[in-house]
Amino acid sequence: MSPHLKNIQLRQKQDMIFCYIGLLVLLFSFLTLITLIWDLAVTGVPRINILFFTNFPSRFAEQAGILSAWVGTLCVMITTAVFAIPLGIAAGIYLEEYAPKNFLTQMIEINISNLAGIPSITFGLMALGIFVYEFGFGRSILTAGLTLGLLVLPIIIVATRESIRTIPNSIREASFALGASRWQTIWNHVLPYSSGGILTGVIISLSRAIGETAPLITIGALTFIAFLPTSPIQPDFPFLSFQWLKDPFTVMPIQMFNWLSRPQADFHVNAAATGIVLLVMTLLMNGMAIYIRYRFRKKFNW
């Protein structure tokens, strides 16, 4: 025993050192997060009341609210979701279940991963050229939704593929052996069993999109806006209107940016309050993602 003792002590020490370093790093990042939230909360929370949500921005800090900002965020997020979710999931399914594994699909695969790493402002520049000028969508909710949609598309595609890949092949073979078509197999088995992972990816991608500022500034989102987009429900025939897609807008991070760039400290309080609202929304979405993942993991086990 004794000849090994020294060696064992040395290796135990190594283990301990790594353990402490890890703990220290973890504590540091955790403290940063806590400080950030605490600072924001102390400044911002007292400012949050009903009026803050129902008022338009104003020259007077204490009367200013985020009505146009949160309505804008909501509209943009809906457009993003409607555009990016079906497209991303369909692309993921195609790549994983239908596409032959060859050089071309490998290139597509690599480039989708690359796309996920492209700085978001680049997407803004591209959208300015294509959506705003080429297609003539203007500085509208539609342009913003499509831009953010493109931004999060790779995230959704990758999440879809990852969760589809966890379905054992034996399940697919069982379905095919009963005479099912590829689509029947996907619709009845592959998609339901992987929907937990797909939904998680979708929500995480949307919570990324909700905080994006740079590409929206590039396409020319307004920073001060005192009216709401056209209501989608109209009193006259045909009662539904998509005019809101063409309306100018602002979103919460831009509103925050706008307030922060003013010299008066009162506006900074408004910015902190907006930050809290944004943070709570993002955390809620992430929480939802975790819950959904947990639910589906319990539902399908093999």
What does the alpha-carbon distance between residue 77 and residue 216 come to, in Å, rounded to a whole number? 12
Q: Which span (11-19, 154-162, 167-175, 283-291) binds another protein, by CB under 8 A?
A: 167-175
Q: Is 29 among the residues that bind another protein (CB under 8 A)? A: no
| Residue (244 or 296) nearer to another protein, CB | 296
Q: Of these, 121, 180, 222, 288, which contacts another protein (CB under 8 A)?
A: 180
Specify whether the CB–CB gap between 206 and 285 falls below 8 A: yes
Measured CA to CA, the distance from residue 66 to residue 281 in angstroms comes to 14
* Backbone φ and ψ of 264, nearest 5°: -70, 135
106 binds another protein (CB under 8 A): no
The token pair that represents 283 in the structure block: 């955390």
Residues 202 to 241: which contact another protein by CB under 8 A? none
- Answer for which of 63, 184, 241, 243 binds another protein (CB under 8 A) is 184
Distances (CA, A) of 18 to 5, 7, 12, 29, 78: 20, 17, 10, 17, 46
Residue whose tokens read 């994983």: 96
Q: Which is nearer to another protein, 29 or 170 (CB)?
A: 170
- Rounded Cα distance between 176 and 179, Å, is 5
Query: How many residues sit close enough to another protein to count as binding (CB under 8 A)?
Result: 23
Helix axes 67-93, 141-165, angle to 10 degrees: 40
- Give 252-292 as a 3 state SS string: HHHHHHHHHCCCCHHHHHHHHHHHHHHHHHHHHHHHHHHHH
Which position among 179, 235, 238, 263 is part of the footprint of another protein (CB under 8 A)?
Answer: 179
Q: How far is the CB of 167 from another protein (least distance, A)?
A: 10
Instruction: Decide if residue 300 touches another protein (CB under 8 A).
Output: yes
Binding test (CB under 8 A) with another protein, winner from 170, 235, 236, 239: 170
Whose Cβ is closer to another protein: residue 192's or residue 232's? 192
Among 2, 3, 101, 103, binds another protein (CB under 8 A): 101
- Selected from 176, 227, 291, 294, the binder of another protein by CB under 8 A is 176
Query: Which residues of this chain interact with another protein, rule CB under 8 A?
Result: 100-101, 168, 170-181, 184, 188-189, 193, 299-302
